[in-house]
A and B are shown apart, each in its own frame.
Chain A
């Protein structure tokens, strides 16, 4: 494992079924079990703070960061209200939230903390915090997902959060709450009959998971726009979770990926994946080295003479 201030990245889905009724579908139960495995990985990672980015929390006025010290509520999902209420009490880190806002502003973003009793924390964040951090061992912040933000703004947001992590001197885990394909069934289904909404969605999910399993985070980040076009219901301008995750974790493919679950939840692609910074064991593709900030000599990524595609030089070519 590579030593890094961001010691773990975790992708989780945000619908409430694995929390409230995993028993209704074997796949939902497997997602619940995967959450538990991710929780154990998190516990062993040495993380001192949790940074959540939730696609379930839209913002308009720049970027909002949850900073209320102990948010507490009895929550009901607006769609799945018949699954029951969720009591929660979380532990946020207001100081770290302020630091993240400062770092956002330093990079030119409009950002603010929100710290109000009764603020409606989104379903995705609630589910993720309940299942990954049930005893509030780690303090957290939650970062909103700006509806209008596109790639540049999202990358800068991720880098700003990274700045805050580095400046805090704490080890952090990044949790991104998002479905892969997000097309819900628009009719009531028997839970036992749940399936990914379309084969095309499933194929794109599988492609992304193949990359993630190999730890190729920057590759999926680079493919986000295509994924948005192919497998997302376009409620917002772009598919941002991997831009955010990659820009916080380091915009490269140097991770050990662990796909802990992939199942349909009400038609959406629900995956639990962990990424752990790996030693420099990269292959020969783009972004397989760390994002260079200072020149320290070139890394011998490509051995010209071994390139199979190049072939030998033609005899009469040249001299």
Chain B
């Protein structure tokens, strides 16, 4: 068996608005469009993936929050309806997906070897979180690849960002090791926004773009700071700044997804490709790809 590899990593945020705006058949709600810059960014990300050959998508998601360890999906098929608890008016999505349970279990075991507390989720009635569904749809709307879905352990709440990051760095390493041992080619997704202070009201037409902007300038500056570090390949500095960034902008990086991704990619020192930056009800969202092939150029 040849060595497995991570063919690409991406920051792939999950505002359900982006799915809503595209009117896919799976979603019950319909829109007149909206958030084009981000949606076109996802198009560019999909284009960049079209030349890549990969077997599985591994998603680390903020919306499956666990407090006792990190959990992994351990059932092969899930088919149900995902209704967003915050935005049920725009996201009611019928999903039908397959899980690569073998790889899921392999990452689980590898994380256990790193000393992390881990658990397989084996209840077939489990409902997949809307973060996974949204990022999964936007990257691969055909759902023709199996996924691995990793919960976000919320140690930041109980301890601090530093401990959370230390664990996510272990989890990233464990993920990389398991992928390599599996012989599979994997796409990794960090399913999170950057700055995350929402508006607390919604326009009458959710896709009314005259109402969309960043919540405050502070968030914008922080988002740019972090994105520039990614563009410059300074991902270790990015990790160092993450606790401050997370605190200052109540960023969704609190879930650890991005730290996990950076670690799984072994802290890229090559340039990331920024496909888009835009806001969704005031939060900052960037679609960014890391192609390890570029590291070798």
Contacts and interface: CB of A to CB of B under 8 A. Distances in A.
Contacts of A188: 68-69, 117
B200 interface: yes
Contact of B125 (A76, A122, A148): A76
A186 B201 contact: no
Contacts of A183: 158
29 contacts: A57-B85, A59-B86, A61-B200, A62-B200, A62-B201, A75-B125, A78-B64, A79-B68, A81-B121, A81-B122, A81-B123, A81-B126, A82-B123, A117-B81, A117-B92, A118-B83, A119-B83, A119-B88, A120-B127, A122-B85, A184-B67, A184-B68, A184-B158, A186-B117, A186-B158, A187-B117, A233-B157, A235-B154, A266-B68
Interface string B73-97: 0000000110101111100100000
A281 interface: no
Contacts of B119: 82
B15 to A, nearest CB: 12
Q: Most chain-A CB neighbours within 10 Å: which of B66, B67, B69, B157? A: B67
Contacts of B201: 61-62, 110
A74 interface: yes
A225 B204 CA distance: 34
Contact of A60 (B64, B68, B129, B200): B200
Given A81-B123, A184-B67, A185-B68, A116 B129 contact: no
A85 interface: yes
Nearest to A85: B125
Given A116-B83, A118-B92, A61 B202 contact: yes
A187 B129 contact: no
A283 interface: no
A117 B29 CA distance: 13
Interface in A53-74: 57-62, 74
Interface of B: 64-69, 71, 80-81, 83, 85-89, 92, 117, 119, 121-123, 125-127, 129, 151, 154-155, 157-158, 198-202
A233 B157 CA distance: 6
A76 B89 CA distance: 23
B125 A118 contact: no
A118 B200 contact: no
Instruction: Enumerate the 4 nearest inter-chain pairs by beta-carbon distance, A residue then B residue, closest first.
Output: A85-B125, A118-B81, A81-B123, A76-B126
A79 B66 CA distance: 5
A84 interface: yes
Contacts of A116: 83, 88-89, 92
Secondary structure type dominating chain A contacts: loop
A234 B157 contact: yes
Contacts of B80: 118
Interface residues of A, number: 35
A142 B186 CA distance: 42
A61 B86 contact: yes
Contact of B68 (A74, A75, A187): A187
B67 A186 contact: yes
Nearest to A234: B157
Contacts of A185: 68
Contacts of A110: 200-201
B68 A78 contact: no
A146 interface: yes
B112 to A, nearest CB: 13
A118 B84 CA distance: 10
B214 to A, nearest CB: 16
B158 A233 contact: yes
Interface in A17-59: 57-59
